[in-house]
Amino acid sequence: MARTPCSLQALGQVNALGKSNAEIAPRLLAGDTSGLTLRDDLVPERSLLFGAVRDPLPEIPARLARFDCRNNRLALAALEQIGAEVDGAFSRFGRARIGIVVGTSTSGVSDAEEAIAVRERTGRLAREFDYAQLEFGGLAGFLAEMTGARGPAYTLSTACSSGNRALASARSLVALGLCDAVISGAADSLCGLTANGFASLGALSERITNPCSRNRDGLTLGEGAALFLVTRDPGGIQLLGVGESSEAHHISAPDPEGNGAETAMRGALADAGLAPADIAYLNLHGTGTPQNDPMECAAVSRVFGNALPCSSTKALIGHALGAAGAIEAAFCWLVLAGQTGDVLPLPPHVFDGERDPELAPIRLVTKGESAHVGARTRVLTNSFGFGGNNCALVLGRDRDS
């Protein structure tokens, strides 16, 4: 039976590389780390690099003041970039047929932290704070109110796989005929709670994250948002396959053998009807932690061998947690959109160049490298979350679309 098409018809995104596809794409391919900034306000007595989005961000309308938090402003910055396409979907399908599925892991925690600090000083929460800013469902609720979409609207929070799982759910809503279009992706904002949580795990690097290096010592945190308009239209850039697993190995550490990661990748390939040799590029989860890189490299090597071009893009923007999957799917979208003839530009794997000999020797993309592809280009992106929540996506484009 033919699969229902799932078009990633339009994309808006913001992260440490910039605030538009046009700004982000060249910096992504150049391996630009200049968007990372030192901050000493998130982890006491430590000055660390973070992938923060530059201010200013769009203002939340006064009528939606209860949703006014940094996380929703990041989402609004992405939404504004696809406003014309969303309006076209409303005209084409009607507002009741447009859904919203998004992911987050922080929601408005940073604004809640500020409100609590005000309470410590004055005895009252900050006047601007509303619980709708903090709850996970607030992100979907805000986007529904902002756009006027009246279809299903909900938020997923499965740690660092949230963005990928949101896109997977959007595809299901479209394929099942429950929606004609879905606004889908994720947003996450930097906050002290998350930064100190990772610090307590000993997982934060003192420098730029260094995935696959013998010198890696942890991750760099980031923030951002990416939103797609998902439809069942043929052509263009398509979400072709989804693979998910829930290994439940440990609350914060992956299965060291990478079995859950392997299951997700093989599931995505099977769902797309593809063989490993059909994939032209793989975006690694690639956090640069001692636990992630060995299991992911081993799993990638078992599935694809050691010739497939791979890279982690987290050294450029930091690990955006619940938004990471959506942002890295957006990077794959940019790669596919930037294909010229049979030449596919590839994001480089930015690290110190000192490969860890203990890791499976997968092929890491160098700056300026491209892949030569045929008429059908397929790429895969990995996202692995706490608790063993794993999700891999296959994106693709045919040359004549």
pLDDT tens per residue, range 117-143: 999 999 999 889 999 999 999 999 999
Rounded mean pLDDT of 216-235? 98
pLDDT value of residue 2? 63
- Percentage of the chain lying above the pLDDT 70 cut: 99
**Would residue 249 show up in a list of annotated catalytic residues for this protein?**
no
Residue 90 pLDDT greater than 80, yes or no: yes
Q: Could you tell me the pLDDT band of residue 62, with boundaries at 50, 70 and 90?
A: very high
- What is the tens place of the pLDDT at every residue in 143-176? 999 999 999 999 999 999 999 999 999 999 999 9
Of residues 49, 104, 95, the one with CA closest to residue 74: 104
228 pLDDT higher than 90: yes
Of 69, 285, 297, 349, the catalytic one is 285
pLDDT digits (tens, 9 = 90+) for 324-341: 999 999 999 999 999 999
Q: Would the CATH topology of 7-231 be identical to that of 239-398? A: yes
Catalytic residue among 69, 212, 319, 349: 319
Mean pLDDT calculated for residue range 8-31: 98
SS3 for 291? coil
pLDDT band at 399 (very low <50, low <70, confident <90, very high): confident
The pLDDT confidence band at residue 306, using thresholds 50, 70 and 90, is very high
DSSP string, 196-257: HHHHHTT-B-SSS--TTBTT---B-EE-EEEEEEEE--SSSSEEEEEEEEE----SSS--TT
What is the pLDDT at residue 226? 99
**Domain definitions of the chain by residue range:** 7-231, 239-398
The residue that leads in pLDDT, 205 or 126, is 205
What would be the CATH architecture of the domain defined by 7-231?
A: 3-Layer(aba) Sandwich (3.40)
Tell me, what DSSP letter sits at residue 174? H
Exactly one of 6, 160, 179, 310 is catalytic; which is it?
Answer: 160
360 in Cβ contact with 132 (< 8 Å): no
Res. 230: pLDDT tops 90 = yes
160 is annotated as an active-site residue: yes
Whole-angstrom distance, CA of residue 97 vs CA of residue 99: 6
Task: State the helix-helix crossing angle for 109-122 and 70-81, rounded to 10 degrees.
Answer: 150
pLDDT band at 47 (very low <50, low <70, confident <90, very high): very high
Which one of 3.40.47.10, 3.10.110.10, 3.40.50.720, 3.20.20.140 gives the CATH number of domain 239-398?
3.40.47.10
Q: How wide is the angle at C-alpha 41 spanned by C-alphas 36 and 49, nearest 5°?
A: 20
Q: What is the pLDDT of residue 167?
A: 98
CB neighbourhood size of 184 (10 A) = 31
Does residue 116 register a pLDDT over 70? yes
319 is catalytic: yes
Distances (CA, A) of 285 to 52, 264, 339, 383: 19, 12, 23, 5
pLDDT at 49: 98
- Mind listing the pLDDT tens digit for each residue in 284-302? 999 999 999 999 999 999 9
Mean pLDDT of 374-389: 93
> What per-residue confidence (pLDDT) applies to 401?
63
